[in-house]
Amino acid sequence: METTIKATNLTKSFGDFTAVDKLNFEVEKGEIFGFLGANGAGKTTAMKMLIGISKPSAGDAVVAGYQVSNQAELVKKNIGYMSQKFALYDDLNIKENIQFFGGIYGLDSKSIEVKYNRVVENLGLQDYAKQLVRSLPLGWKQKLAFSVALLHQPKIVFLDEPTGGVDPVTRRQFWELIYEAANQGTTIFVTTHYMDEAEYCDRISIMVEGEIKALDTPKVLKKEFGVSSLNDVFLKLAR
Amino acid sequence: MSLHINNISKSFKDLKAVKHISLEVKENELFGLIGPDGAGKTTLFRILASLLLPDEGSANVAGFDVIKDYKKLRKNIGYMPGKFSLYQDLTVEENLNFFATIFDTNIEENYDLIKDIYIQIEPFKKRKAGDLSGGMKQKLALSCALIHKPKVLFLDEPTTGVDPVSRKEFWDMLKKLQKKDITIFVSTPYMDEAALCDRIAFINQGEILQVDTPSAIVKNFAKEVINIRTNSIYKSLQVLGKYQYTHSNYPFGESLHYMDSRDDFDPNEIKKHLEDEGIEDVEVQLITPEIEDIFMELSRE
């Protein structure tokens, strides 16, 4: 099995405060990895290091073959990222967003055109191509943002709470897209507060106060904690 | 009645955000408005808090008309918007003092009401609100919304983006508040929170789909829901997506929830079909539907 993320003692401190404390874990190619934890547990800080926008205070991680400590630019080129907060430009239309992000990732105009056609067809957005992204329902925006994050065929895509507030049907359609991408070999690293979504992951980790306190398949974790749902595992650990 | 909403509508240009909504909320009720992003929840909240005029219809909150009596109404409600809207560069204590003063009161007068909540952020009272963590901001915002002892408390998505542990704590606080003579009108996109309300209204695309107690909504749901477990949820979804009798078919955690298009059917038929298509370890079981099953079904119609 090929490893796409390998964190070794990955640590981040702000002054006296250790936000992320010696994380050690590996994620394999094509795996859906759920990265869970309470608000303030250090998830965002850890994720920022993994996507190359924050330097570790100690330790390191290899992401998509590059070290986050000194090859951050190469890490960024080889990953996709989307968050609930910032994903696409609201005042560009669907096509313009795809052209923009395709260009940023260095795709030529011909392959952008090919990708654009594939994305709108795949998502059934043909009739909305000229609409400003602002006017699309949140769920559509998020599906589009996910496709945009995959434009440059990254080895791994980071999803930070991609489905927060999205309606239950669209939330499930979103996960179908995740499954599809994973089936084609893309590694998925995802955070969520929906515990039913955590069940869809191949493996999950739960962070508490800067440390990973549990890491395994949902099945094993439930067994280990003697409970029937991941929600209960979470409550037991984080409370 | 604490809230009386009569045929309220509101449009923004071509978008009909709220369509002919009528609702009643009883005194001291914990009432949940359940629906996804874009359903019209915030628009309705803003109308009820007298911050937005409806295009048609009328509403009465705590005895005051939202249009004619808006000044009195505002003294009698607390409103916590979805977006954090306190003063980021005032401290915790300054924010609370500010809101108390605006409402002609002081922290001491109603301290009893906010004590359980405020005590958790009191150690940080000299910290600027902008530097608080998400959970602490939420507690401060709630304290500020309560400082004048409102009759009705409006909470617009107080738990969105909040982890399961903090969400549970927040609902425990609401249950306590309810006992102190306050009507609570709360919205959430999390279907599992519906069960914690006395009554709920499902809202989608500006319309109310159903209003009742959570248990009655579950009890009165006409369709049968089958829980399916297999060795591969992803493959099972694809197989059932093509099955001629599938009405709906959604992943639910580690299982699938399936509804059949026929009125009468044998769940074992589904099991057999999955097995014929090469799926293994198939278990089917008739279950009590979850609130989320019902919401998804209602929003399809």
In this structure, what CATH number is given to the domain that contains residue A165? 3.40.50.300
pLDDT average, residue stretch A159-174: 88
Which secondary-structure segment (H or E) carries A14? strand A3-14
| Structural domains of chain A, count | 1
Which residues, other chains included, contact B243 with Cβ-Cβ below 8 Å and sequence gap of 6+?
Answer: B249, B270, B273
Predicted local distance difference test score (pLDDT) of residue A12 = 97
Chain A residues touching residue B189 (CB < 8 angstroms): 164-167
- The span from the CA of A84 to the CA of A161, in Å, is 6
Cα angle value B274/B280/B285 (rounded, 5°)? 65
For the segment A45-76, what is each residue's pLDDT rounded down to a tens digit? 999 999 999 999 999 999 999 999 999 999 99
B248 touches B259 (CB < 8 A)? yes
Q: Which residues pair with B10 in a beta bridge?
A: B18
- pLDDT of residue A1 exceeding 80: no
- pLDDT of residue A189 exceeding 90: yes
Task: Report DSSP letters for B253-274, one per residue.
Answer: TTEEEEEESSSS--HHHHHHHH
Are B254 and A218 inside 8 Å of each other by CB?
Answer: yes
Predicted local distance difference test score (pLDDT) of residue B165 = 83
Are A176 and B204 inside 8 Å of each other by CB?
Answer: no
> Which residue from A minimizes the CA distance to B252?
A196
At residue B188, the 3 state secondary structure works out as: strand
- The span from the CA of B78 to the CA of A217, in Å, is 44
pLDDT average, residue stretch B20-41: 93
When CB atoms are compared, the residue of A176, A183, A199 closest to B253 is A199
Predicted local distance difference test score (pLDDT) of residue A84 = 76
Tokens standing for B280? 């293994």
Token pair 């079909």: residue: B273
Predicted local distance difference test score (pLDDT) of residue A226 = 95
SS3 percent helix, strand, coil of chain B, rounded to 5, is 35, 30, 35
Residues B156, B144, B25, B28: is their CA dihedral positive or negative?
positive
A4 touches A182 (CB < 8 A)? no
User: Backbone phi, then psi, for B59, in 5-degree steps?
Assistant: -150, 150
pLDDT average, residue stretch A85-95: 87
> Which residue from A minimizes the CA distance to B13?
A135
- The span from the CA of B12 to the CA of B16, in Å, is 6
User: Which of B 20-39 lie inside 8 A of A, CB atoms?
Assistant: 35-39
Establish how many alpha carbons lie within 13 A of residue A44's alpha carbon, considering only the half-sphere containing its beta carbon: 11
B48 touches B201 (CB < 8 A)? no
Lowest mean pLDDT among A67-71, A126-130, B182-186: A126-130
- The span from the CA of B26 to the CA of B155, in Å, is 16
What value does the mean pLDDT of chain B take?
93
**Runs of H (alpha helix) within chain B:** 41-48, 70-76, 92-102, 111-118, 134-146, 164-178, 214-219, 233-241, 267-276, 291-300
Q: Return the closest-CA partner of residue A181 out of A146, A138, A144, A140.
A: A146
B294 vs chain A: nearest CA distance in angstroms?
A: 11
Whether A200 and chain B come into contact, CB under 8 Å, resolves to yes
Tokens standing for A60? 């390191």
B159 vs chain A: nearest CA distance in angstroms?
A: 10
Predicted local distance difference test score (pLDDT) of residue B5 = 97
Is B125 buried (19+), middle (13-18) or exposed (0-12) by CB count in 10 A?
A: middle
Predicted local distance difference test score (pLDDT) of residue A38 = 85
A123 touches A147 (CB < 8 A)? yes
Whether A239 and chain B come into contact, CB under 8 Å, resolves to yes
In terms of phi and psi (left: phi > 0; alpha: psi -120 to 50; beta: otherwise), the region of B243 is beta
SS3 percent helix, strand, coil of chain A, rounded to 5, is 40, 30, 30
- The span from the CA of B54 to the CA of B77, in Å, is 18
Tell me the residue range of the domain where A59 lies. 3-238
Predicted local distance difference test score (pLDDT) of residue A82 = 92
Length of chain A: 239
- The span from the CA of A45 to the CA of A53, in Å, is 10
Sheet holding A17-28, edge to edge: A17-28, A3-14, A58-63, A66-67
Whether B231 and chain A come into contact, CB under 8 Å, resolves to no
When CB atoms are compared, the residue of A161, A164, A234 closest to B164 is A234
Chain B interface, best mutation among A196, A223, A228, by max B CB count within 10 A: A196
- The span from the CA of B213 to the CA of A5, in Å, is 47
Predicted local distance difference test score (pLDDT) of residue A165 = 78
User: Backbone phi, then psi, for A161, in 5-degree steps?
Assistant: 45, 60
Predicted local distance difference test score (pLDDT) of residue B19 = 97
Chain A residues touching residue B233 (CB < 8 angstroms): 200
- pLDDT of residue A86 exceeding 70: no
B25 touches B185 (CB < 8 A)? yes
Whether B56 and chain A come into contact, CB under 8 Å, resolves to no
Chain A residues touching residue B167 (CB < 8 angstroms): 193
- The span from the CA of A13 to the CA of A165, in Å, is 31
Are A164 and B161 inside 8 Å of each other by CB?
Answer: yes
- pLDDT of residue B36 exceeding 90: no
- pLDDT of residue A170 exceeding 90: no
Is A113 buried (19+), middle (13-18) or exposed (0-12) by CB count in 10 A?
A: middle
β B77-80/B30-34 pair status: unpaired
- The domains of chain B, with CATH numbers, are 3-212 (3.40.50.300), 225-300 (3.30.70.100)
> Which residue from A minimizes the CA distance to B161?
A164
Chain A residues touching residue B299 (CB < 8 angstroms): 167, 169
pLDDT class of B136 with cuts at 50, 70, 90: confident
- The span from the CA of A37 to the CA of B163, in Å, is 7
Whether A105 and chain B come into contact, CB under 8 Å, resolves to no
Residues A76, A80, A81, A87: is their CA dihedral positive or negative?
positive
